[in-house]
Chains A and B, each alone.
Chain A
Amino acid sequence: MNDEPLILAFCCHYCAYAAADLAGSMRLQYPDNVRVLRLPCTGKLEANYVLAAFERGVDGVIVAGCLEGGCHFLEGNLRARKRVERVRQLLAEIGLEPERLEMFNLSSAEGPRFAEIVTAMVERVKRMGNSPLRPDRARAEEGALEMSRQAEAMLEGEKR
């Protein structure tokens, strides 16, 4: 049985997603516990996306947006930070550790920082232990994949 934590990263297309790509191009090593979900901007993030991830058994969630002041849509990342804070409060009410959710800011040139963020988050979740809501790793993995597919379909829909 795979007991490794599963982390879902909601990544902005203009920064963190490109940084993740760069980390790969640079052959940087980081834990393979993370699954990347692409958003057009972290301002697209809704509270129910994060809750859906936790409900499907994901152990931790990263929200990664542009550097403050550098949002492609001016202030999407600032709005996302406020939403993340509200969801953290909601997680506490639910009875799940708010530290399982964290927002980070980085630029598309920061491949090494993406690797650092993932490493730090995986270590944090390992210290806390896996989510008590996780059915089993395979089902949580399926849930994360399904959410990622839905996000990509949404992006495709917006292009049309």
Chain B
Amino acid sequence: MTAVWAQQSTHQSTQRAKERSQQRAKVRATARAVGGGEAVRPSVRTVFLSILLVVLAFYTEMAFELEWRTTAGRIGPGFFPRLVGGAGIALTALALVSGLRNNQPATTPTGPATGLAGAAEPDLGEHPRVLLLTVLGAGAYVLTLTVLGAVVSSALFLLGTLLWLDRRHRRRAVVISLLFPVLVYLLLQTLLNAGLPDGILPLP
């Protein structure tokens, strides 16, 4: 189990390397130096917490540029950021150390919101590639939203993901991709005037 876990998380982190930009890669390298043992490649938890540590360090550094107290001697704008930054760094460091000491992360299936142990889910393995492609697709969707407009861009995203995830029901995928964005657009824009981008289609 342990070996499988380590292998899979390694696989995961290689996948993620593609996703991250150069800057992130640098951060990750630092993270590895900070948190990674030589024998075991760093787990998701170690990498994530290390990135967090770097971000929080920047945060705290900026907090020290803000005033601790105002000229009148009251709590200044830097008071809370400093407390938050300090506490964040301490907690992250603690979590990193405790994770390393146990060598393996205490990853149990967790509930959706609270971080409490949740209902057991059937084990279907891990699918980092599917996840990565969906995230990238969603990114492209968001970037094209204002250019192509809500309807076109949503339809393209749905068409792409549905055809790919649900290969057996091509017709259903096409129908949903065309109807659903139009329906949402009519509801939000035409009926409620809530402000969706028209884009390239001449819509009412």
Q: Do A and B bind each other?
A: no
Binding site for A on B (CB under 8 A): none
